[in-house]
């Protein structure tokens, strides 16, 4: 009964506090939407499934294990098993086909090879895969016209290519890792896969083009009617696994599985950051709301309302607001989740065939988190106001105290200590996987410290800025006096502005710092005159090496390997002539010793691995093949060229697409002539050094889209806080009008106050970002100087200032339209 009475009273008070209710409602709605969208991304990463297309006709599929495993033995005698995905497709022995055929319950088995191909049609429609016609039954594909490929120069194309103009008997140029070739279209299928073009070659030709003698990419198993095949004995002792249902899709679409892993980390990091920002913003909104209601709270205390009743009342209001905002925000968040997925698909971070998982769990989690954040924020904000004695309450409402509660002071000092600790930890982290989440957390913790110590910082800042303010005659004197008397209000305005500046600068300039460092190293190390890419077959490299005027040609492949479970970026290069095309800045050993049994390691990676020249490293190549390599050299330019450098001959047989880029040193060969030579391979472009470095710059748009939502949330919080603060001062503005102040002077006072808040917030936010970025740059690049482009920095400050001034001016103009006497009467 008492709870119902509190909720009823809360509803009645909300009806008379529409401005405060609207501000809290908007903040909580945005928080719920963000958490819901992030939860959907996280759930898709955890539970997302991809339906098979190419393997839809095979009830059971046998393929390689796409994970590297490690068993950890703990000191208490227990063991823990961990697994991490590999980067390339794991192939299996072709001999396994016969063993599976002899298994109980098996009617037929169909082996296939998969390899990337490119045609004029696929260059426009998307990726294409080549197969042998003997594996057409795995979908199944059937012929609509023509006949199956029999000769090595024949190919069957799918219905999409047929609709695009391919005809039986026509000549079709095809690019594979074996080089460009022309095939005769012998047939066209009735079917086409939704997300990939398909070409079928003669079985022997397909195995030649795949370049994996004695291996197959998958084996389809067809059971006898009414029986379940038992493959246990056939698979024993191999690294092959049995896949059924949607697990077949995971084998077919490796990019979907890799995207799921990214979504788990992205959704978790983004969701956690969103919650922290939401708590900070919601706490600030409710603190401002309670400050604005001190007169009301004082009157309630004067008429014998107990602190417990006031806390319950404010908490009840918060819960009512949170539930209403959480329900609507969760619905908005579902739409936001679909929008996020569409942007990630457009940027290539998530494949189209990985659908978004939609369930009630993210919305329920968002509603619960929003309600808890609102309740906790209201209770904390009301704690001191509700404990004031009735006699003191009215006095404090008339003239707010300048004292900072000791609990808040201690919390602020603890947050400052945590910020210092995180900054020091960040300066020691040298991998993006480790430093990425800590960067934003560090900036947030510093912002929390600023929020808690805000009134003290505001008073100190106003004391410094009072002199230049007073130089501005009436407006400056009034602004200085208002800011000095309303340090708590100023602190509540500074917090979201500081948060917006700190987060925006940290997100933007952490990317520019890494890109600039990588570009600097790539530029310094690139000695080639030209770079050919993006997919160049080895046949072109061989022809260029024999060309007069060409001094050196280096083939480069990019992949990733694992040492234990740790992932390392790697490049594979042809050692011959490497010193003429690339300078890795070797500090120990020599690249002359780079071969199929050795590798070079960046200093950063060597520190993490604890190795030096002459040591051996056990690693897993991209397709899951284990190998042991000797460290031949250490180099410094790991950001520009990867943590590990291996021989091209070591890596090429273990990647899905062995076509990479070429670094060509040919000072006497004109670019036009080289372009003419490269035109023999479709899609290959010739770039100079500057163009190649710019093209290799990592794409950070995915991070910008994801974190842009948090920046937008912070911007909404700025507008919300300033609008609430200005709207609540209608009585004060009316009094200024009654004593003879003009509208223009009142607006000038408010502008000066907002500009002062902007100066304070910009200084604090920039300081937070600079501290965080300095630590980040120290750990990641070895330099304590982050890369902050001045124009980009100004582009951050200008919208922030415009938002703040607009959020102050618009409600002020609305308030000044009302007659001063009426405004005072309305407030009374």
Tell me 302's DSSP state. Answer: H
pLDDT above 60 for 823: no
| Stretch 414-426: mean pLDDT | 94
Query: What SS3 class is residue 348?
Result: coil
* Mean pLDDT value across the chain: 84
4 and 135, same domain (yes or no): no
Name, in order, each residue with C-beta under 8 angstroms of 139's C-beta and a sequence gap of 6 or more: 53, 54, 55, 56, 57, 191, 193
228 and 266 both lie in a single domain: no
The 10 Å Cβ neighbour count of residue 126 is 12
Mean predicted confidence (pLDDT) in 246-254:
90
Which position has the higher pLDDT, 625 or 504? 625
Whether residue 333 sits in one domain with residue 322: yes
Whether residues 71 and 13 share a domain: the answer is no
Q: Which two tokens stand for residue 500?
A: 């917006």
Average of per-residue pLDDT across 713-721: 76
- Residues 264 and 388 grouped into a single domain: yes
- Of 337-346, 411-420, 805-814, least confident by mean pLDDT is 805-814
Cα–Cα dist 383/510, whole Å: 39
Q: List pLDDT tens digits, range 543-602.
A: 898 888 899 999 999 999 999 999 999 999 999 999 999 999 999 999 988 999 999 999
Domain end residue (candidates: 397, 412, 438): 397
Q: Which residue has the higher pLDDT, 278 or 41?
A: 41
- 662 and 544 Cβ atoms separated by less than 8 Å: yes
In a domain, 25, yes or no: yes
Residue 624's nearest CA partner among 658, 647, 656, 661 is 656
Interval 365-393 mean pLDDT? 72
Tens-place pLDDT, residues 130-151: 999 999 999 999 999 999 999 9
In a domain, 654, yes or no: yes
Q: What's the confidence (pLDDT) of residue 504?
A: 86
Q: Is the pLDDT of residue 219 over 90?
A: yes
**Which of 407-421, 447-461, 488-502, 743-757 has maximum average pLDDT?**
407-421
Determine contact, residues 393/290, Cβ cutoff 8 Å.
no
In a domain, 760, yes or no: no
pLDDT digits (tens, 9 = 90+) for 266-314: 787 777 777 777 777 777 777 767 766 666 666 666 666 677 777 777 7
At 1, is the pLDDT very low, low, confident or very high (cuts 50, 70, 90)? very low
Q: Check residue 678 and give its pLDDT.
A: 86
**Same domain? 363 vs 344:** yes
| pLDDT > 90 in the chain, percent | 39
Determine how many CB atoms are found less than 10 A away from the CB of residue 17: 17
Per-residue pLDDT tens for 479-495? 666 667 666 777 777 88
Confidence of residue 30 (pLDDT cuts 50, 70, 90): confident
Same domain, 344 and 383: yes
Q: Is residue 511 part of a domain?
A: no
- Whether residue 362 lies inside any domain: the answer is yes
Do residue 77 and residue 215 come from a single domain?
Answer: yes
Q: Rounded to an integer, what distance in angstroms lies between the CA atom of residue 152 and that of residue 206?
A: 9
**Region of poorest pLDDT, from 183-197, 453-467, 516-530:** 453-467
- Give yes or no for residue 433 having a pLDDT over 80: no
For 647, the enclosing helix (H) or strand (E) is strand 644-647
- Domain contains 708: no
Q: Say if residue 391's pLDDT is above 80.
A: no
Q: What confidence tens digit (pLDDT) does each residue in 61-87 have?
A: 999 999 998 887 776 767 888 888 999
Token reading at 667: 């000072």
Does residue 637 belong to any structural domain of this protein? yes
Residue 743 in domain = no
Residue at a domain's end among 251, 280, 304: 251
- pLDDT greater than 90 at residue 621: yes
Are 259 and 386 in a shared domain?
yes
How many domains does the chain contain in total? Answer: 3
| Structural contact between residues 747 and 809, judged by C-beta atoms closer than 8 angstroms | yes
Same domain, 93 and 41: no
Residue 724 scores a pLDDT above 50: yes
Confirm if 91 and 215 have CB atoms less than 8 A apart. yes
One domain, residues 299 and 184? no
CA separation for the pair 663, 652 (Å, rounded): 17
Kindly tell me if the per-residue pLDDT of 636 is higher than 50.
Answer: yes
The boundaries of the domain holding residue 78 are 60-251
Q: Is 4 exposed, middle or buried (0-12, 13-18, 19+ CB in 10 A)?
A: exposed
pLDDT above 70: percentage of residues in the chain: 85
Asked if 212 and 91 touch (Cβ cutoff 8 Å), the reply is: yes
The token duo for 62 is 């046998």
- Using pLDDT thresholds of 50, 70 and 90, give the confidence band for residue 230: very high
Residue ending a domain, among 362, 377, 397, is 397
What are the pLDDT digits (tens) for 506-518? 988 998 899 889 8
The C-alpha atoms of residue 785 and residue 781 are separated, in whole angstroms, by 9
Do 267 and 187 fall into the same domain?
A: no
Mean pLDDT across 163-170: 86
Token pair 């003419």 is at which residue? 676
């Amino acid at each position: 009964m008492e709870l119902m009475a509190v909720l009823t009273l809360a509803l009645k008070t909300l009806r008379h506090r529409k401005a405060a209710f609207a501000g809290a409602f908007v903040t909580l709605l945005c928080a719920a939407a963000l958490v819901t969208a992030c939860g959907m991304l996280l759930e898709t990463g955890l539970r997302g499934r991809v339906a098979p297309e190419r393997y839809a006709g095979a009830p059971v599929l046998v393929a390689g294990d796409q994970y590297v495993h490690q068993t950890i033995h703990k000191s208490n005698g227990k063991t823990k098993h961990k697994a991490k995905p590999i980067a390339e497709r794991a192939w299996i022995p072709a001999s396994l086909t016969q063993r599976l055929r002899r298994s109980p319950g098996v009617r037929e088995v169909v082996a296939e090879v998969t390899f990337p191909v490119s045609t004029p049609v696929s260059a426009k429609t998307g990726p294409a895969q080549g197969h042998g016609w003997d594996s057409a039954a795995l979908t199944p594909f059937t012929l609509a016209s023509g006949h199956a490929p029999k000769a090595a120069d024949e190919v069957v194309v799918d219905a999409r290519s047929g609709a695009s103009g391919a005809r039986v008997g026509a000549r079709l140029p095809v690019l594979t890792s074996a080089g460009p070739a022309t095939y005769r279209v012998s047939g066209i299928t009735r079917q086409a896969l939704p997300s990939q073009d398909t070409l079928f070659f003669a079985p022997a030709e397909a195995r030649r083009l795949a370049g994996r003698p004695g291996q197959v990419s998958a084996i389809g198993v067809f059971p006898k009617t009414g029986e379940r095949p038992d493959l246990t004995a056939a698979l024993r002792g191999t690294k092959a696994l049995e896949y059924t249902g949607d697990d077949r899709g995971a084998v077919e679409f490796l990019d979907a599985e890799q995207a799921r892993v990214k979504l788990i980390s992205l959704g978790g990091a983004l969701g956690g950051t969103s919650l922290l920002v939401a708590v900070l913003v919601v706490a600030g909104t409710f603190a401002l709301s309670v400050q604005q209601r001190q007169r009301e709270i004082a009157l309630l205390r004067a008429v014998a309302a107990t602190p417990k009743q006031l806390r319950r009342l404010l908490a009840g209001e918060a819960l009512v607001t949170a539930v209403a905002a959480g329900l609507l925000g969760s619905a908005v968040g579902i739409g936001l989740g679909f929008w996020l997925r569409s942007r990630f698909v457009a940027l290539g971070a998530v494949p189209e065939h990985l659908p978004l998982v939609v369930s009630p769990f993210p919305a329920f989690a968002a509603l619960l988190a929003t309600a808890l954040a609102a309740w906790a924020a209201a209770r904390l904000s009301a704690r001191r106001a509700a404990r004031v004695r009735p006699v003191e309450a009215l006095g404090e409402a008339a003239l707010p105290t300048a004292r900072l509660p000791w609990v808040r002071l201690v919390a602020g000092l603890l947050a400052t200590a945590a910020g210092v600790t995180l900054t020091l930890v960040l300066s020691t982290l040298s991998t993006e996987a480790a430093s990425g989440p800590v960067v934003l957390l560090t900036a947030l913790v510093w912002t929390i410290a600023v929020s808690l110590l805000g009134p003290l910082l505001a008073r100190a800042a106003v004391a410094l800025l009072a002199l230049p303010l007073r130089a501005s005659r009436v407006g400056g004197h009034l602004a200085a006096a208002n800011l000095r008397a309303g340090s708590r209000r100023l602190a509540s305005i500074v917090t979201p502005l500081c948060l917006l500046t700190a987060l925006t600068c940290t997100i933007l300039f952490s990317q520019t710092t890494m890109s600039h460092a990588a570009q600097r190293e790539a530029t310094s190390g690139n000695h080639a005159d030209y770079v050919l890419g993006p997919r160049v077959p080895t046949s072109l490299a061989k022809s260029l090496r024999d060309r007069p005027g060409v001094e050196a040609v280096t083939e480069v492949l990019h992949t990733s390997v694992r040492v234990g479970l740790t992932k390392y970026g790697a490049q594979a290069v042809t050692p011959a002539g490497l010193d003429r095309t690339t300078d890795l800045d070797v500090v120990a050993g020599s690249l002359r010793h780079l071969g199929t049994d050795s590798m070079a390691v960046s200093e950063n990676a060597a520190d993490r691995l604890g190795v030096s020249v002459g040591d051996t490293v056990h690693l897993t190549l991209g397709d899951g093949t284990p190998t042991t390599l000797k460290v031949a050299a250490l180099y410094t330019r790991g950001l520009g060229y990867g943590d590990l450098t291996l021989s091209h001959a070591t890596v090429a047989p273990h990647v899905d697409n062995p076509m990479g880029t070429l670094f060509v040193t040919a000072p006497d060969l004109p670019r036009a002539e080289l372009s003419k030579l490269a035109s023999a391979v479709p899609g290959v472009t010739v770039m100079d050094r500057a163009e190649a470095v710019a093209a290799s710059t990592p794409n950070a748009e995915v991070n910008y889209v994801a974190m842009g939502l948090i920046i937008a949330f912070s911007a909404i919080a700025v507008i919300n806080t300033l609008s609430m603060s200005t709207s609540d001062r209608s009585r004060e503005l009316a009094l200024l009008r009654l004593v003879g102040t003009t509208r223009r002077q009142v607006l000038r006072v408010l502008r000066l106050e907002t500009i002062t808040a902007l100066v304070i917030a910009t200084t604090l936010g920039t300081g937070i970002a600079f501290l965080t970025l300095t630590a980040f740059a120290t750990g990641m690049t070895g330099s304590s100087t982050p890369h902050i482009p001045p124009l980009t920095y100004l582009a951050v400050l200008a919208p922030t200032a415009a938002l703040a001034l607009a959020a102050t001016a618009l409600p002020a103009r609305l308030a000044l339209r009302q007659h001063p006497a009426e405004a005072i009467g309305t407030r009374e």
